Chains A and B, each alone.
Chain A
Amino acid sequence: MRKVKGFLLVVLALLIAMPVFASGSGETKQAAGTPEDPVSIDLWFGAAITEAGMIPEDWVGYDIIRNELGIDLHLTMLPSNESDQDVRIQAAGAANELPDIFMVRRPVLVNLVEQGLVAQVDDCFAKMPVRTALIYDENAIAHATVEGNVYGFASPGAIVRNEGLLVRKDWLDKLGLSVPTTLDEFMEVARAFTFEDPDGNGRDDTYGYGAFVETDATLKGYPGSRLWPIMGAFGVEGLWSFDSETAGLSIYKPEFYDFMVTLKGMCDEGIIDPNWLSYKKDDFRAAWKQGRFGIMYEQNAAYAATANYAPFDANFPDGEWIVIDAIEGPDGKASIGAYDMNYRIYAVSQKAADEGKLDKICELLEWMSSDEGYYLLGWGQEGVNYVFDEDGIPVAGDLGDNAFTGSKGQVVTQLRNMVFYNGDVELASRYPTYVTEVSGKTMSALTTLREMQAKKWTNAIGSGTMPTPNADVQRYYDQSLAEFLTGAKELTQENWQAFIDQFNAIGGAAWNEEGIAKMQADGLIR
């Protein structure tokens, strides 16, 4: 019986403890915004290095922000995965529990605006002159504009045109081939790389082109950006065409069919790595480091940054990739790919605006773009996390673990994406020139970047604001193209036309029209 009583006691204690457990959240006192009585601001941010962990509680930034701005900052790191982020933010939105300021992708922002959950910030830019001059240009403001009103602060994300078409120079030399410039030459090289044993290991284990499916809903339509150089030869790179003659979805261009025939041909011939449909990003990146293929489309740092190039360098000390020009297609078209500006939007919840926090948030953002805020959020504390070199570039020096690149120091830079604008200081600091360990090459992801940016690209600025289709239309689009490529559907003119017709019928046509209307409204047609 004692046992029974004990059990009941535990249960009772639990019942009583529940509300106690539950309490401790939610304070609604109106604060003055002074260091003594700071305004509490909740910020959900996209961390620079999510997997490295949270900014420590004793970070100096908290005190500085409290003392100088009268803000009590509460930070929450958003998950690194985009879909997770979207779910998390929309769930909070559904419960009207959005934080004061949060990072959000545009499609989600549009949903939240429709729900009336996000505050208009049109008037804020005047309150942050320094930051606006530095970061919020016309394109940036357009990216956060929904139906004429600005609903967020869009700051630059990844650098534009930071990808390129790369070829194994050592393979070309070995087989006595020159750098391909036309589609025919490109195919010849791909064939030679596949069948003529370019690595000379006597095994049939190489392919011409390597890729994986990298798509999104506004810029990178199926089969994705990794095939852009080939699509560019047909003028069908980019999901949308902003050309005055062909404005609309690229899939409607007759050349898209020609591109599909070419790609299907490459699949059938086996000159594109057959794993490309199953690879995810990491698999693809492991594959070129193992010398599986000799032509690819890759991002500058993923290719040339120290840690990323090192395994390739070790595997193939004689190996060498070069960035080449866009391939010219049958009608003389050529493009590396389509580019749009990349932004991270920070939006303010309507709730926060109603509580009168908007001004404080502007103050916080403006401070971030001051010298103090910029270096503190970007690199940490001088002398602790970084030192300036002779050119005024923040470097790790010999600060060891505590440096902004070290395992202890890196967490203090988690907020850096809120202050970075891809300025020269950042790039020089991010992509230092170095000498590779095994082959002794001098490399720099920055040089590579400049090389890549100089190639021929297609302007698709504004893609990010284009309407997105519903899940069924999206699936039909992706699935049909994929089935043409695998052979599940035979690729003929009739079948292609049937696909286009069905696509139109289930909502593709409406999507296209909506897109064209958006282009016209925003003056995107060039």
Chain B
Amino acid sequence: MAANGKHLKHKTVRLTKADHVFNVVVDIFMIFILVIIIIPVWSTITLSFRPNDYLGSNLEGMFLPPWEWSPDAYTALLGNDGFLDAFLNSFKILIGGVATALILTIPMAYVLSVQSLPGRKIINLIVIIPYVFNVGMIPTYLLVRDVGLMNHLAAVFVPGAISTYNCIIMRQFFIGIPNELKESARIDGCSELQVLFRIILPLSKAIVMTIGLYYGVSFWNDFFNAMLYLNDNQPLPILLRNILLASGMNEYVEVNAFGNAPVSAIKAASVFMSAIPMVIAYPFIQKYFTKGTLLGSVKG
């Protein structure tokens, strides 16, 4: 965690009035954020645990005591025949996607960060033009068809395997690493590749993890590519969207597709499925969010 809980300054210097005001303002803002974030999240959580025979309003539902909660929505969702398959497909997309994305993005970001590289500006332009000129669905669809990725899980992540946005953000972090470090490595006879592996990457764990997370979440939740390119082997977002937008649900079925659980609870529960990789990965990533990562490396 950040700064191991305490700022160095607090031990050595007395806090002035301005410092106290500052801390109060920060705390108030944090509490405010906490409140406005907890409300929708909490209402969705309670909604997902709502029992079938619950009659009150949504507002009252937020204060339903946990012992009256019902896991029906989750058991129904997990018990859905398609769920496990969809989950596995999503998992494959996640792993394949993040690996491919990082293998492509890290070198690209590094190349763009080498200030002395002849032709850097041209490479920069090559990278930025497709970002700005988003040509849309059909030109990309035709490409996916032509490279034979149709109905292959890779079609979900390959077209977006380098997000220029992520790439340039990562480059910015690489640039931020003090030049002395890179230079001294070069003087020691390191090649550029060695500089990347020995200097840059060890110092960039936080950003590499963050960008990996951004990729992971976008692949995990990608609905549009999956809908366009996959026939069978559909991943989780397709199933979840079918649940969220199921229009015929109320009209034609004599029974609910999910047995006992109320439709609204199923919908709410399905939301949390999309946050799974994040909830699992974020605590790990936070470990690398440590203040002054660079400091130690410069001195040591």
Do A's and B's CB atoms come within 8 Å in the complex?
yes
Q: What number of residue pairs across chains A and B have CB atoms under 8 A from each other?
A: 151
Interface range, B side: 35 or more
- Complex Cα distance, B241 from A282, in Å, reads 15
Interface pair B82/A53, CB less than 8 Å apart: yes
Spell out B's residues near A (CB within 8 Å).
53, 55, 57, 76, 79-83, 85-86, 100, 103, 137-138, 141-142, 145, 147-152, 154, 193-194, 197, 227-228, 231-232, 234, 238-239, 241-243, 245-259, 263-264
Contact A407 B55 (CB under 8 A): no
Check if A306 sits within 8 Å of B255, measured CB to CB: yes
A271–B254 CA distance with the chains assembled, in angstroms: 33
Contacts of A56 in B (CB 8 A): 81
Q: Known A1-B194, A405-B254, A430-B252; judge A79-B242 contact (CB<8 A).
A: yes
User: Shortest CB–CB separation between residue B190 and chain A, in angstroms?
Assistant: 10
A81 to B194, CA, bound (A): 51
A337 to chain B, nearest CB (A): 16
Q: Indicate if the CB atoms of A79 and B227 lie closer than 8 Å.
A: yes
Question: Does A441 reach chain B (CB closer than 8 Å)?
Answer: no
Known: A53-B239, A307-B255. A91 touches B137 (CB 8 A): yes
Residues of chain A lying within 8 A (CB to CB) of residue B149: 21-22
B81 touches A97 (CB 8 A): no
Closest chain A residue to B233, Cβ basis: A54
Contact B251 A22 (CB under 8 A): no
Q: Is the beta-carbon distance between B152 and A22 smaller than 8 angstroms?
A: yes
Given A7-B197, A97-B150, A311-B55, A407 contacting B247 (CB threshold 8 A): no
Contact among B85, B100, B154, B254 for A305, CB-based, below 8 A = B254
Nearest residue, chain B, Cβ from A26: B148
A21 proximity list for chain B (CB < 8 A) = 149, 152, 154
Interface pair A411/B81, CB less than 8 Å apart: yes
Q: How many A residues have CB within 8 A of the partner chain?
A: 64
Give the residue of B53, B83, B138 whose beta carbon is less than 8 angstroms from that of A94.
B138
Contact segment of A43-51, A379-387, A499-507:
A43-51
**Is A22 a contact partner of B80 (Cβ separation < 8 A)?**
no
B194 touches A285 (CB 8 A): no
Contacting residues of chain A (294-330) with chain B, CB-CB under 8 angstroms = 299, 301-302, 305-308, 311, 314-315
- Whether the pair B147, A22 counts as a contact (CB closer than 8 A) is yes
Query: Would you call A290 an interface residue if the criterion is a C-beta within 8 Å of the partner chain's C-beta atoms?
Result: yes
**Min C-beta distance of A23 to chain B, whole Å:** 7
Assuming A22-B154, A79-B238, A95-B142, is B251 touching A301 (CB within 8 A)? yes
Write the A15-59 contact mask toward B (1 if CB under 8 angstroms, else 0). Answer: 000010111111000000000000000101000111111101000
Which single member of A4, A281, A286 contacts B197 (CB below 8 Å)? A4
Give, as a whole number of angstroms, the nearest-CB distance from A450 to chain B: 17
Which residue of chain B has the shortest Cβ distance to A85 in the bound complex?
B227
Q: A14 to B107: give the CA distance in the assembly, Å.
A: 15
Which residues from B are CB-within-8-Å of A315? 55
